[in-house]
Structure 1
């Protein structure tokens, strides 16, 4: 494998895989599947694990991501399972070259990686434009409780025989924002360890801000849930789910 493939494999290995089934289950409760309307676009699909879950659940899936390297891994995964999934390299801030979809998802707090609420609003408008009539858009974001109370000072370290992983999170300057500093040490074929460093900046907003941006994009109904369940957010909810319909 190339260094990037090795890195992505390690990155996936420290991800809680049970979350993919939870995202799938939440989607199935809010995105009814039928033979005529099952075209789903997954934004920020990464290495394709969630796209595969969606495909196996019965959706006609297209995955979009900025990273060609991630998409190469996603394609290998889907081919290994003999699944017909389209993977497209692209930016969720410009979906003008894509066809219409019945539903769009953006999970794993990918919206939180956009730099400001202007970009968030732009993405909402792009999604609205490519949705069929009565189409649905589902995404999740960190709650303000998560960014303000849970994440700052968070530290996770893992040591295995062929890799080590360090993850530390700090509060950032903008409201409800954090910086994740990730360091991987991955053993290569010579037995030496190669270091990979990444810095992830995330920012969230109040629920009202997301509601207003969705309304400005044109969505007519908006429902908000928390923590993978069909329940309303509470003060200590960590992840908010938005279900917006065109």
Structure 2
């Protein structure tokens, strides 16, 4: 998934996203498993909103993303923040040559951009190959509830002074999938608005499919929780969190 122009608008549009909760969740899980000072790989890092804070906490962070534009923005932000993050452009389905890590994370629904179960299995297998023995894999996905009740059939809009958007969500062809049709209107230096269009597809699966994919790849499931909880999985949770350990 290449984000194009969206990469340069992403942080402004996502200003209210709970990145501090993602970072806190990761740190708590790592601490509970004695990995407070371990090396960490962020897969699908976007513009670095999780990798950079983790680096500032003293962790040795490497981050990968498929989008060259996202990585360019992330690198600029990392330098400005004084963080020490190594960024690489790679496809999560084909991770290679990145070394071994104590913890690998894939957050902000990055896993939902995988198109089918074969790609899910390939990604989990490649993640396992880059984990140390008993290393942790922490990831989140949109729940079926969110895809079908929050996204599909709904339209979201924002009317800002410099950026406005119309975000339409349609049910995809595959079960539990959504197609995002986004139009952005961005004011340029001349005070005129330029239009940019983006199309994104996401897909999720029943929890059992994720469990089976983890087991097949060689993981032991540690926990499944919802909406940043470390203990609870509510049936109406919008986001599922998985913690798995390499066998």
TM class, shorter-chain normalised? over 0.9
Q: Distance in 1 between matches of 2:6 and 2:214?
A: 35
Residue 170 (structure 2) aligns with: 170
Structure 1 vs Structure 2 CA RMSD: 1.9
The answer on whether the counterparts of 2:37 and 2:59 sit within 8 Å (CA) in structure 1 is: no
* Residues 147-156 or 177-186, more deviating: 147-156
Residue 84 (structure 1) aligns with: 84
Residue 25 (structure 1) aligns with: 24
1:42-191 to 2 correspondence within 5 Å?
A: 42-191=42-191
Aligned-pair CA distance for 1:16: 4.5
Aligned-pair CA distance for 1:233: 2.1
The answer on whether the counterparts of 1:219 and 1:244 sit within 8 Å (CA) in structure 2 is: yes
* Matched residue SS, 1:30: helix
Residue 39 (structure 1) aligns with: 39
Aligned-pair CA distance for 1:53: 1.5
Aligned-pair CA distance for 1:94: 1.3
CA displacement 1:84-110 (0-9 Å, x = unmatched): 110011111112211101100000111
The answer on whether the counterparts of 2:214 and 2:221 sit within 8 Å (CA) in structure 1 is: no
Residue 211 (structure 2) aligns with: 211
The answer on whether the counterparts of 1:137 and 1:245 sit within 8 Å (CA) in structure 2 is: yes
Cα gap change, 1:36 to 1:109, in 2 (>3 Å):
closer
The answer on whether the counterparts of 1:158 and 1:165 sit within 8 Å (CA) in structure 2 is: yes
Q: Distance in 1 between matches of 2:69 and 2:154?
A: 29
Where do 5+ consecutive residues of structure 1 fail to align? none
Aligned-pair CA distance for 1:58: 2.5
Aligned-pair CA distance for 1:11: 2.2
The answer on whether the counterparts of 1:37 and 1:102 sit within 8 Å (CA) in structure 2 is: no
**TM-score w.r.t. structure 1 length?**
0.93
Where do 5+ consecutive residues of structure 2 fail to align? none
The answer on whether the counterparts of 2:35 and 2:102 sit within 8 Å (CA) in structure 1 is: no
* Matched residue SS, 1:220: strand
Q: Distance in 1 between matches of 2:35 and 2:130?
A: 19
Cα gap change, 1:12 to 1:213, in 2 (>3 Å):
same
* Matched residue SS, 1:49: coil
Count of residue pairs the alignment pairs up: 243
CA displacement 1:51-100 (0-9 Å, x = unmatched): 11111222211110111121111111111111111001111111221110
